[in-house]
Structure 1
Amino acid sequence: MSGEKSADLCWGQRYVWLRHQHLPAHARHESHIVRHFELPQGVPLAAVRTTLNYLVRRHEALRTTYHFDADADPWQRVHPPAPLPVVTVSMERDGTATPAEVVDELARTEFELTKEWPIRACVITRAGTPKTLVLVLNHMAFDAWSVLRFEQELAALGAAIAARRPAALEPVRHQPLDLARFETSVEAAAAKERAAAFWREDIAGMAADTLGSRRGPRTVPVVHGATLTSPALLDASRRIAERHQVWPSLVHVAAYTATMAAYTGSPEVTHLSFAGNRGSGRYSDVMTCAFAPLLTRVDCQGDPTFGELLRRVARRFDQVAEHTHLPYDELLELLARESFRRGEELRTGSELNFLSHATQRSNAKRTKFGSHTGPSTWAEYGADSYFRIYELRDAVALGLDAMSTVFDADAVRRFLFGHEAVVLAHDPPGTDLRLTEMARLIGFDPARANARRESTPTPDPAAERILAVVVRQANRLDHEVDTSGCYTVAGGRTMRVPRVLALLRDHGWGGVGVRQFLDGTPLRTLAGRLTWLG
C-alpha cells in the first residue's frame, strides 16, 4: 500500500512486546494506559475528531501496527494517515450502554497489534455536547514521557480551538522508524557491545535469588495485594533527599532495599527498576515507548547505615545509567547463559516502579492501609512482586502485589508499614540507623534457608526431538541443536521464543511459556515439562 513504511522494533519496545506475547489474551489489557480529558466548553465533536486526526498525521507511532512473521523478527509498520475511529456515548439514560461500560470495554479489550493502531478514542456527551474525551493507549507506542507530551499537545490544541486561534506546536524532529534505523547503525552497535560487556561482568557476580529464603512450594499461587497512603512520607522523603543531595525516588529505593533485606536476610537485594531510557541524544524526543527495566543490584553487606545504603543505591543508578544501551531481550540472554553455567536460575522477579502524579491528591489526613486481592492478570506474568511508589500532590502511596509463594498477606502489610517506618525514622537530622537496627524496627521474623528441591522430569523422546527441531527452525540455525544446553546456549534468541511456542503448538505440544526458555534450564529438562495437547 502506498505510504507504508517499516522497520524493526525499537529497543525500548521489545520489553512491552515480550510481555504482550507472554500473557494470555485476557490479561493483555494490563499494559493499556487510560486517560480522561475534560473538553473545553463549546468544543464541537467535529473539532475533537479533527484534533485527533491531526495528531495521527503528526505522529507515526499513532498509526503503527506490529508484526511477527515466521521468517523475521518482530517489526513495525507505519500506515498512511487516515481518520481515527471515535466512539461516542451519551450520559443520558436511553437504554444504551453507559459511558462507564463503554470505557471499560475499550480498556479491557486486547489490542490486536497486527491490525489495530495503538490508540482508541471515546467521546462522552451530554445533550449532544462533548464533555469528556477518553483515550486508551497501548504501551507499544507510549511510555510516561510520550504520554505527557501527547497530553500537552492535546491540551494546547484544545485551548486553541476554544479560543479560536491557531495552535503552535514544536516540529517533530524524528519518528520511531528513524530511531529504529539508528539502532542498526555502527554507532549504536558499538554502544550496545560496551553495555553488554558491562552486564556480562556484572551478572557474573549477581546473587541468584534475593527471595530464595522465603520461597515456598510451587503450589497454585495467589496474589496478595495492598496499598498504604502516607501524607508524612511526602515531605520526609524530600527532606532526606535534600540532605543527601539525591532524588526522592532514590530515598524510596533505599528504604525498599532495607525492607527487602530485612525480610529475606539476603546480602544483596536485586530488582528490576522501571525507568526511562531516553537520555539526551538526538532521538530523545521520539514519540514511542523508550524504556526498559534496569537490573538494580544493591550490596547490603557490612551492616550499612541508611545513609551508606542510599549512597550505594545512588552509585548503582549512576552506573546503570551509563550502560542502558542493551535491549532487554539481550539482557535476558546474558542472565540465561549465566543461570545455565551455575546450574541455578538468576531470578529478577521483583519489580519496582516510581511514578510521579503531582496533579493528583489523596486527601488523606493520616496513614491509610487497604488490602485487596491482587490482579489475576499480573499473576499470569510470573513475577514475584511488584512494588510501586506514587508521589502524589499531598502524599506518597505505596503499592505491593506479591505472589503467595514468597509473601503471605501479613508479610505484604508489614512490608508496606516497614517501608514507611524506615523513611520516617530518618526524617530527623542526625538519625542514621544500621541495617540490623532497621530490621528490628520493621520486625520481620528471621528468614530461614530454603532447602526446596525440584525433581527433574524425564522427557518424552518425541518431545525432545520436536523441541530441538523447532528451536532450530524458529532461530534459523545452521547446526543441530544440542538439548543438553539451555535455549540461549543452543543459539536461541529471546525475541524468537514466541515463534518456538507457536511451532510447538503446531506439533501438538504445550505446557511451557516464555519464561521457561529464559531461565537457563537445559532443553532436555524443558522437554520433560512439555505436555501433549493432541
Structure 2
Amino acid sequence: MTAAERRAALIEKLAGLPPERRAALLRSLGGAARDTGGQEWPLSPGQERLWFLSRFDPADTTYNTPWCMRLRGPLDVDALTAAFTRIVARHEVLRTRFRLRGDAPVQVVLPPGPVPLEKIAFSGEADLERALKEFVERPFDLENAPPLRTGLAGLGEDDAVVCIVLHHIVMDGWSLDVLLRELTECYAAAREGREPELPELATQYPRFAVGERQRDHTEGVEFWERRLAGAPALDLPADHPRPPRWSGRGGREQLLLPPEVITPLEKVARKRRCTSFMALIAAYEATLALASGQTDFCVGVPVAGRGRSELAPLIGYFGNTMVVRADLSGDPSFHELLDRVRETTLAGMRHAEVPYEHVLAALRVPRDISRPPLCQVMFNLHNLPKEDLLGTRFADLDREVHVVPPSHTKSEVSMDLWRGPEGLGGVLDYSSDLFTPATARRLIDGFAEVVRRAGADPGIRLSALSGPFASVFREVKGAWK
C-alpha cells in the first residue's frame, strides 16, 4: 500500500471511530496548540468529523463552499469591508480556530477584528475564471486562520466580482442565506451612516455545540440501527475503474423540467397524501434502481437541523444527513413506491436530529476508502430564496450570481432541485473519477423519463419503466458496461 493509500485509510478509519477510541488515538498524536487567549468550546459532532478529515488531509478542498456575485455600479469597498467585519464580529463561529487540546479538538473563539478583503489578481476577463477558481480552492488552515475569506476582483470602474469562501465546518446552506441577507443590510447601513437592522442573536453556535454533545440520542440511534442494518452499497456501473481511494473530484450537469412535465407528478403526490419531495425522491430511487439493477440502497437527504427558533438567524454548521433507505423490491407500481417512500420519510423525520456521525459509528459500516460510507448518493429539494441569494440588487448596485463551476463532490451522484415558475430546475453533481458528462446527462434524461411516465400513469410498474418505450435506460446501461 502506498503512503497516499495508507493516509486515506487512516482518514476513513478516524471518521468512523467511536468517541472513546478516537480520544485514545488523539492522545497518541499529541501536538498541543499555542495559547490564544480565546474562549474554548467543544465541537459539534458534525464539526468533529470535518475537523478530522481536514487535519489528516489539509490539502483537501472538498468542503470549501463558495458564493460569488457580480456587482455593477459604484462599489464602496470600505463599506463592503466594514460589512464583512460587522458580520464576523456578530457571529462567533466565523472568528473561530479549531485546535487540539489534550485529548480532543476544541473551537477557540477569538475577539473581533478587521476582516481583510483580498484583491484577486487576474489579467483580463478571460483570466477571471482561473483566478476565482484558485481563490476558491485554496485550502483553509483551520488551526491558525479564519474559516472565512473574502476577495474582490475588479473588472472595471463600475464592475466587480465579490467572492466569499467558507469552510463547511462553520456553515450550511441556510447559513449562506443568512450571510447574504446580513451582508446586504450591513453594506447599505455603512453607506447610509446608520446602524444595520438585524435580528438579535439569542445564542451563538458554540453554545449549540455544547448542547448537542449533551443530548441523549440513544433512542434515535437504535431506530437507525434497526432501519439501516445490512444496507448494501449502491453500485452504479461506472465509465472508469473505481480508484483505490475516494478523491472527491467531480463535475456538474444542469437539468430543467418544464411545468407540463412536473405538474402531473405533483398532482399524483397530493392525491396520495404525499409531498412533492416524496414524489421526486421516489422518481430518483426508481432511476437509480433502473440504472444499477439494485432494489435496496440508501439515499442521503440534507436536513436543516434548526428545530428551535433561536437558531434561525445564526451562521453555523447545523445541517445533518438523514438516510432514506430505498425499497423497490417486488416490482412495485409507482403508487406503491410512493407509499413506501412516505412511510420511510415520515419515520425518518422523527429521528432526523440524530447526528449522521452517530449513525455511522453505531452501524459499524465496513470501511471502503474508495467510496463515501453508507450513502453513495444524495438528494435535495429546496426552495431557494428569491431575494437573499438570488436577488438582483445589492443595496444600490445591480447584482447577479457568478457561478464558479465546482470541481469536487461529496458523493458519487447528488441531485439538487428547486421548483420555480419555469418548472423544476436543478443540478446533478457526479464523481468525475467514475462517470463522464455524457453518462451524467443520460442519468438526468432517465430521471426526466420516470417523472414524465409516473405523472401520466402512476400505476406503472418499475419493470414497465425499463420496457421498450424507455430506451434511455438501455442507453445508460450500454454506456456503463
Measured against the shorter chain, the TM-score band is: 0.7 to 0.9
SS of 1:426's equivalent in the other structure is: helix
Quote the residue 2:397 is aligned against.
none
Cα deviations across residues 432-485 of structure 1 (Å, max 9, x unaligned)?
Answer: 31222223254545999xxxxxxxxxxxxxxxxxxxxxxxxxxxxxxxxxxxxx
Question: In the TM superposition, what are the counterparts of 1:394-409 in structure 2 within 5 Å?
Answer: 394-395=422-423, 396-402=425-431
Quote the residue 2:40 is aligned against.
6
Q: How far is 1:235 from its partner? A: 4.2
Equivalent residues of 2:253, 2:440 under 8 A apart: no
Equivalent residues of 1:264, 1:447 under 8 A apart: no
**Distance (whole Å) between structure 2 residues aligned to residue 299 and residue 169 of structure 1:** 46
Letter in 1 for 2:253: T
Quote the residue 2:83 is aligned against.
51
Further displaced range: 233-242 or 29-38: 233-242
Q: How far is 1:72 from its partner? A: 2.2
Equivalent residues of 2:251, 2:408 under 8 A apart: no
Cα deviations across residues 296-326 of structure 1 (Å, max 9, x unaligned)?
Answer: 1022123222122223223222222221333
1:82 to 2:109 alignment? no
**Distance (whole Å) between structure 2 residues aligned to residue 375 and residue 133 of structure 1:** 17
**Distance (whole Å) between structure 2 residues aligned to residue 243 and residue 334 of structure 1:** 38
Q: How far is 1:63 from its partner? A: 0.5
Q: How far is 1:126 from its partner? A: 6.2
Question: In the TM superposition, what are the counterparts of 1:249-260 in structure 2 within 5 Å?
Answer: 249-260=277-288
Quote the residue 2:221 is aligned against.
196
Distance 1:305 1:358, change over 3 A: farther
1:207 to 2:244 alignment? no
Cα deviations across residues 470-514 of structure 1 (Å, max 9, x unaligned)?
Answer: xxxxxxxxxxxxxxxxxxxxxxxxxxxxxxxxxxxxxxxxxxxxx
Distance 1:299 1:123, change over 3 A: same
Structure 1 length-normalised TM: 0.67
Q: Out of 138, 141, 155, which is 1:112 matched to?
A: 141
Q: How far is 1:275 from its partner? A: 2.5
Distance 1:38 1:422, change over 3 A: same
**Distance (whole Å) between structure 1 residues aligned to residue 174 and residue 373 of structure 2:** 31
Q: Out of 287, 299, 321, which is 1:271 matched to?
A: 299
Quote the residue 1:432 is aligned against.
459
Cα deviations across residues 114-156 of structure 1 (Å, max 9, x unaligned)?
Answer: 1111211123446666854321222111111111011111122
Q: Out of 313, 318, 331, which is 2:346 matched to?
A: 318
SS of 2:315's equivalent in the other structure is: coil
Equivalent residues of 2:413, 2:429 under 8 A apart: yes
**Distance (whole Å) between structure 1 residues aligned to residue 87 and residue 406 of structure 2:** 33
**Distance (whole Å) between structure 1 residues aligned to residue 280 and residue 224 of structure 2:** 25
Distance 1:24 1:124, change over 3 A: closer
Q: How far is 1:66 from its partner? A: 1.4
1:33 to 2:60 alignment? no
SS of 1:146's equivalent in the other structure is: helix
Q: How far is 1:165 from its partner? A: 4.6
**Distance (whole Å) between structure 2 residues aligned to residue 92 and residue 339 of structure 1:** 49
Q: How far is 1:286 from its partner? A: 3.3
Question: In the TM superposition, what are the counterparts of 1:107-506 in structure 2 within 5 Å?
Answer: 107-125=136-154, 131-163=160-192, 165-185=194-214, 188-189=215-216, 192-204=217-229, 206-211=230-235, 227-232=253-258, 233=261, 235-236=263-264, 238-280=266-308, 282-336=310-364, 339=366, 347-357=374-384, 359=386, 377-378=408-409, 383-391=411-419, 394-395=422-423, 396-402=425-431, 412-428=440-456, 431-440=458-467, 441-443=469-471, 444=473
SS of 1:110's equivalent in the other structure is: coil
Q: Out of 81, 104, 108, which is 1:73 matched to?
A: 104
**Distance (whole Å) between structure 1 residues aligned to residue 414 and residue 332 of structure 2:** 25
Distance 1:116 1:291, change over 3 A: same
Q: How far is 1:339 from its partner? A: 4.6
**Distance (whole Å) between structure 1 residues aligned to residue 385 and residue 54 of structure 2:** 29
Q: How far is 1:169 from its partner? A: 0.8
Distance 1:197 1:164, change over 3 A: same
Distance 1:44 1:224, change over 3 A: closer
**Gaps in structure 2 of 5+ consecutive residues:** 1-34, 392-404
Cα deviations across residues 351-397 of structure 1 (Å, max 9, x unaligned)?
Answer: 33445446569xxxxxxxxxxxx97744xx7x543344354663423
Q: How far is 1:251 from its partner? A: 2.3
Equivalent residues of 1:34, 1:135 under 8 A apart: yes
SS of 1:229's equivalent in the other structure is: strand
Distance 1:133 1:302, change over 3 A: same
**Distance (whole Å) between structure 2 residues aligned to residue 309 and residue 164 of structure 1:** 58
Further displaced range: 327-336 or 129-138: 129-138
SS of 1:325's equivalent in the other structure is: coil
SS of 1:74's equivalent in the other structure is: strand
Cα deviations across residues 69-90 of structure 1 (Å, max 9, x unaligned)?
Answer: 5x32232111100101112358
Distance 1:447 1:122, change over 3 A: closer
Q: Which has the larger radius of gyration?
A: 1
Further displaced range: 322-331 or 72-81: 322-331
Quote the residue 1:369 is aligned against.
none
State the superposition RMSD in angstroms: 3.9
Q: How far is 1:328 from its partner? A: 2.5
**Distance (whole Å) between structure 1 residues aligned to residue 308 and residue 75 of structure 2:** 37
Quote the residue 1:519 is aligned against.
none
Quote the residue 1:523 is aligned against.
none
**Distance (whole Å) between structure 1 residues aligned to residue 220 and residue 175 of structure 2:** 25
Quote the residue 1:500 is aligned against.
none
Which structure has more relative contact order (CA 8 Å, sep 6+)? It is 2
**Distance (whole Å) between structure 1 residues aligned to residue 275 and residue 263 of structure 2:** 13
Structure 2 length-normalised TM: 0.73
Cα deviations across residues 82-112 of structure 1 (Å, max 9, x unaligned)?
Answer: 101112358996xx99655543332110011
Quote the residue 1:508 is aligned against.
none
SS of 1:36's equivalent in the other structure is: strand
SS of 2:299's equivalent in the other structure is: strand
Letter in 2 for 1:229: L
Q: How far is 1:14 from its partner? A: 3.6
Distance 1:77 1:281, change over 3 A: same
**Distance (whole Å) between structure 1 residues aligned to residue 221 and residue 199 of structure 2:** 36
Identity %: 21
**Distance (whole Å) between structure 1 residues aligned to residue 271 and residue 383 of structure 2:** 21
Equivalent residues of 2:70, 2:159 under 8 A apart: no
**Distance (whole Å) between structure 2 residues aligned to residue 327 and residue 74 of structure 1:** 18
**Gaps in structure 1 of 5+ consecutive residues:** 362-373, 449-534
**Distance (whole Å) between structure 2 residues aligned to residue 426 and residue 330 of structure 1:** 36
How many residue pairs align between the two structures? 416
Distance 1:162 1:404, change over 3 A: closer
Letter in 2 for 1:6: E
Letter in 2 for 1:13: Q
Distance 1:48 1:264, change over 3 A: closer
Further displaced range: 235-244 or 256-265: 235-244
Letter in 1 for 2:255: T
